[in-house]
Amino acid sequence: MRVPLKRFWVVVKPFKLPAVLEALEGFRVGGLLVSECRGYGRQKGHLELYEGSEYQITFLPKARIEFLASAFEADAIVEAVRSAAATGRIGDGKIFLSDVRRCEGWEGA
């Protein structure tokens, strides 16, 4: 019997990455992909002051985490990630989930 899977795509502030990865240790996540990225949400960046001039910072640094996990653990994983990533400020991140219809791997060629 196959276990239904969910694909998680999580975007968090880079300094929260270690806390999120630690929160995921309690779940059956077989492997994950972490990458640095840049983007913006509803806040569309922010203004910074440098040597007396204002600059619009459009794309903010983020960390992206992608992994598959059991659909049965999805709600608990979302809550664990949300709790670990929270700072209480705008731009804490996003969690996207989708159903996995098929997953295949292969060993070297």
Beta strand residue intervals within 51-89, DSSP E: 53-57, 60-70
The tokens for 100 are 């996995």
Could you report how far apart the first and last alpha carbons of the chain are, in Å? 28
CB of 61 closer than 8 Å to CB of 23: no
**Residue with token string 């070297």:** 108
pLDDT at 45: 64
Domain boundaries, the chain: 5-38+61-100
Per-residue pLDDT tens for 31-66?
Answer: 899 999 988 777 666 666 778 887 777 788 899 999
CATH value of 5-38+61-100 in 1.10.1060.10, 3.30.70.120, 3.30.420.40, 3.20.20.80: 3.30.70.120
In the three-class reduction of DSSP (H, G, I as helix; E, B as strand; rest coil), residue 32 is classed as: strand
Per-residue pLDDT tens for 5-23?
Answer: 999 999 999 999 999 999 9
Quick one: which of 8, 58, 59 has its CA closest to 29? 8
Q: How confident is the model at residue 89 (pLDDT cuts 50, 70, 90)?
A: confident
Distance CA 35, CA 66 (A): 9
pTM for the whole structure: 0.82
